[in-house]
Each structure stands twice: as C-alpha cells, then as structure tokens.
Amino acid sequence: MNFLGFGQSADLDIVFDGADTRKMAEIKTEDGKKEKYLLYYDGETVSGKVNVTLKKPGSKLEHQGIKIELIGQIELYYDRGNHHEFLSLVKELARPGDLIQNSSYPFEFANVEKPYEVYVGSNVRLRYFLRATVVRRLSDIIREVDIAVHTLCSYPEVNSPIKMEVGIEDCLHIEFEYNKSKYHLKDVIVGKIYFLLVRIKIKHMEIAIIKRETTGTGPNTFTENETIAKYEIMDGAPVRGESIPIRVFLAGYDLTPAMRDINKKFSVKYFLNLVLMDTEDRRYFKQQAIYFSARILHNGPTNFT
C-alpha cells in the first residue's frame, strides 16, 4: 500500500556512541531466556544517533517530525494494559518536512538520573529503552531499543554479623552465625552452625537462598517466593558441641540487589532459609533476612568488578 502513502516506507536504527567499548549486561526475558544489552549507570549520558534509511532510494517521505525518547517503565503483569513511566525524556530531532535521502540525527541525554535497576521478575518488569519515532499522519514509524541499567553503591562501613539462636524446648538448641548482614552480588556467605542440644535424630540439613517478590498494593498484592539456590551443609546426625561450617559462593547465582518499594509498585527481598530434617521426615526451619547491595562502586578487600 506504499503507493497510497501508507505503510512503513523507511527503516529506523538507533546507534549508541561508544557501543563497541561499552560493557554489556545479560538481562533475563519473560520467557526465561537471556539477552545482552548495553550497560549504563545512574548519572551517565546516553548518546548516539538515529539513522533513517529510505526503503526506496529517490522517493520522498513526508513526516510531521522526528523524535527520540528515553523511557523508564514498570509493567505489572496482572495489569499489562498500563505502563507506569518513572522516566520520560524527549528530544526533537527534526521539524515536519520531507525526507528525500537517508539521514542521520545525533542525540544526547546528558547525565540522566536512572534511579532503579533493570529487573524482570515473576510478576513485574522494569525496563529502560529508547524509542525513535518518525511521526506521520496515519502510521508512525517506530523503533525501540532496550538498555541495561545497574545501580552502584559504596562498600558498607557498618556490616554487623548475624547471630541467632533457634530450638525446640528440651529437644533441639542450635546457634547460627553469618559473618555479615549485607553482601554484594559476587560475595561469599561465610558462617557456622553450633549444636548446643540435640535430642532428636537429625539426618539432613541444608541452607537455601529465597527471593521474595511483592507486587501491587491492597487487594492486588501478589507475593512470589523463588528458591534461588539450595546448598546441603550436613548429611548425617550431629552431636552436641559439633560445629558445621557454611560457605556459599554467590557469583554463580542469578541475584539482583534488594529493592524496596520501587516507585511504590514492587519490592524484592532475600532470605537465608536453614532447614533441618529428622529421620521421620519432619522439617524444622529458620528464616533470616539478608541484604544484597547494588554493585560495588570501588574495589574493597576483593575485586568486585
């Protein structure tokens, strides 16, 4: 139908400055696969150019203007019709007119505040993308390209260990200790479990990292628990006075920073779940909240990059 002036008569392409040298980040898609996107941080400039390529060289493309937008958006899966935008910037690239040849338009969004990290969960998605548009009377020509955004923080100055006791009166009394309460995403959880009283026949013990995603508010609140990692720390019966070491390497797991009330739409928390099972397959567990910080801004005791 192009001879009537309908349809898409040009291709749009968004090319980022420094794309060849910029880091990439793997982002999980809704179907569980992973895709790589250019990685940006809060406060970084996003710049490049929009290329408009006519499908028929020598033809004329009438338009009502050309623009590019940088958008940060939250989508709740139970409410897919509504997209909640927390970031919306627009740059006008060309005034209304005619294109008679392929054209390129530079753009720059300087020092953009990107307050949240990209996230794809069970019930929610937070994404950043650029949308280039050739505005036309009947059908716009649109091109969207996602980018990844990671948040950064300094290494915490105060990072107290976690110490807790748990037990069943006159049957079981254990004490567990983790070296820190805050961890970065490539950290190692180090701890110990002390058996102070053992009068039940324990045959197995494991530790799990649980991610709890909460979306929505009021009657539309949804909570989803996902086991990110499970780690066996004991197989066999412990005795009184025994100490079991814990060492869990986080780098191999698909973790995100903890997220609290993001744009009043969702939260993500993590827990360490200690589970004991006796010879009659009864389960005893204790859950402890832990905090995964954003990516570390500078190098501390180990290389966090």
* Better pLDDT: 116 or 163: 116
Percentage of residues of the chain with pLDDT beyond 90: 47
Contacts with 174 (C-beta within 8 Å, 6 or more apart), sequence order: 165, 166, 167, 193, 194, 195, 196, 197
Measured CA distances, 159 to 171, 258, 292 (Å) = 33, 16, 12
Over range 271-299, report the average pLDDT. 78
In SS3 terms, 152-201 reads as EECCCCCCCCEEEEEEECCCEEEEEEECCCEECCCCEEEEEEEEEEECCC
pLDDT at 295 over 70: no
Task: Give the confidence band of 141 by pLDDT, cuts at 50, 70, 90.
Answer: very high
* Better pLDDT: 293 or 256: 256
**C-alpha dihedral sign at 127, 129, 135, 139:** negative
* pTM reported for the whole predicted model: 0.84
Task: Give the confidence band of 95 by pLDDT, cuts at 50, 70, 90.
Answer: very high
* Number of residues in the chain: 305
281: left (phi over 0), alpha (psi -120 to 50) or beta: left
Rounded-to-integer distance, Cα 116 and Cα 259, Å? 9
Task: Give the confidence band of 244 by pLDDT, cuts at 50, 70, 90.
Answer: confident
Contact between 208 and 230 under an 8 Å Cβ cutoff? The reply is: yes
Q: Which residue has the tokens 């909240």?
A: 289
pLDDT at res. 294:
67
Over range 206-218, report the average pLDDT. 90
* Better pLDDT: 186 or 110: 110
Terminal-to-terminal C-alpha distance of the chain: 52
Task: Give the confidence band of 282 by pLDDT, cuts at 50, 70, 90.
Answer: confident
Q: Mind listing the domains of the chain with CATH numbers?
A: 10-149 (2.60.40.640), 162-293 (2.60.40.640)
DSSP 236: S
pLDDT at 300 over 60: no
Averaged confidence pLDDT in the chain: 86
Rounded-to-integer distance, Cα 225 and Cα 218, Å? 19
